[in-house]
Amino acid sequence: MDSFVFKILTTAVVLRAASGGGIPTFAGPWNVWIERFTTCSEDDKRISLKISHFNPSKKFENQVWNGFINFTEEMDDTWWSKGVLDVRSNNQWKENAFVFFFPKNGCSSAREILTEMFSKYFGKKGTPCRLVKRCIYFENTTVAHEYPRFPIMPYGYYRFKITAGVTGAKEPEYCFRMLCHIIPKIGS
Ligand SMILES: *[C@@H]1O[C@H](CO)[C@@H](O)[C@H](O)[C@H]1NC(C)=O
Ligand SMILES: *[C@@H]1O[C@H](CO)[C@@H](O)[C@H](O)[C@H]1NC(C)=O
């Protein structure tokens, strides 16, 4: 078994499906399109992004990003990171449909999962993980989503909360929110 998957199944991550049904029953190879990507609070100005609308008649086109994400704190493997996916079902959010929690090595774990566009800012794989302070600008940047660690996902409308913080600190340094749609993989 792939060592990362093994880690998921043992110590690093809790990945669970919410109980009580309502989880989409159709899952498979997927693509994602993003409706909104913001910080968790209006007072936090570290994300300002305009993401092009998904065009159902041009499904093969990746979305185009304009704006910035401002990383104001250096992140390394002394951090934790967490991702929580809520899924839309019967007109309400089913919370914690999927939870990824990396109590340790939050930086490497994020680098391992993220699409190339973002993982490159965490340093080369195999070297100590470090996200340096910097403001990343997007100017008509085409963002491709490749998540080989997650070949299969249930299709649906998701609310994704990403947090990361220093070990021992309960309050995250970063808190981002994304609304996105996971759809059957285009061309498959
Ligand atoms: C990014 O954050 C730094 C540090 O807080 C700040 O000086 C800079 O103005 C910010 N950049 C933008 C585009 O908001
Ligand atoms: C981005 O694309 C828009 C629309 O195609 C164009 O008007 C604008 O000049 C482009 N900006 C940059 C920085 O390439």
DSSP per-residue letters across the chain:
--HHHHHHHTTS----PPSSS-S-S-EESEEEEEEEEEESSTT--SEEEEEPPP-GGGTTSPEEEEEEEEE-S-EETTEEEEEEEEEEETTEEEEEEEEEEESS-HHHHHHHHS-HHHHGGG--TTS--EE-SEEEEEEEEEE----TT---EE-EEEEEEEEEEETT-SS-SEEEEEEEEEEEPTT-
Q: Which atom of ligand 2 sits closest to the CA of residue 139?
A: 13
Residue whose Cα lies nearest atom 5 of ligand 1: it is 72
pTM: 0.84
Which pLDDT score, from 0 to 100, does residue 59 have?
Answer: 78
Find the 163 Cα to ligand 2 centroid distance in Å.
Answer: 32
Please determine, for residue 131, whether its predicted confidence score (pLDDT) is greater than 50: yes
CA-to-CA separations, 138 to 34, 37, 157, 182, in angstroms, rounded: 15, 13, 25, 23
CA of 66, closest atom in ligand 2 = 1
CA of 45, closest atom in ligand 1: 14
Residue 72, ligand 1, Cβ within 6 A: yes
Ligand 2 mean position, distance from CA 140 (Å):
6
**pLDDT of residue 2 exceeding 50:** no
Ligand nearest to the CA of 73: 1
Q: What is the position in ligand 1's atom list of the atom closest to the CA of 46?
A: 14
- Return mean pLDDT, the chain: 85
Is the distance from the beta carbon of residue 70 to the nearest atom of ligand 1 less than 6 Å? Answer: yes
| DSSP bridge pairs for 79 | 166
- When pLDDT is cut at 50, 70 and 90, the band that residue 170 belongs to is confident
For ligand 1, say whether the CB of 135 is within 6 Å of any of its atoms: yes
Ligand with smallest separation from the Cα of 138: 2
Mean pLDDT of 112-116: 89
* pLDDT on residue 188: 59
Identify the pLDDT of residue 5.
41
Pocket of ligand 2 (CB under 6 A): 139-140
pLDDT, position 152 = 87
Mean pLDDT, range 19-47, rounded to an integer: 83
Q: What is the pLDDT of residue 28?
A: 85
Which range has the worst mean pLDDT, 1-15, 23-37, 112-126?
Answer: 1-15
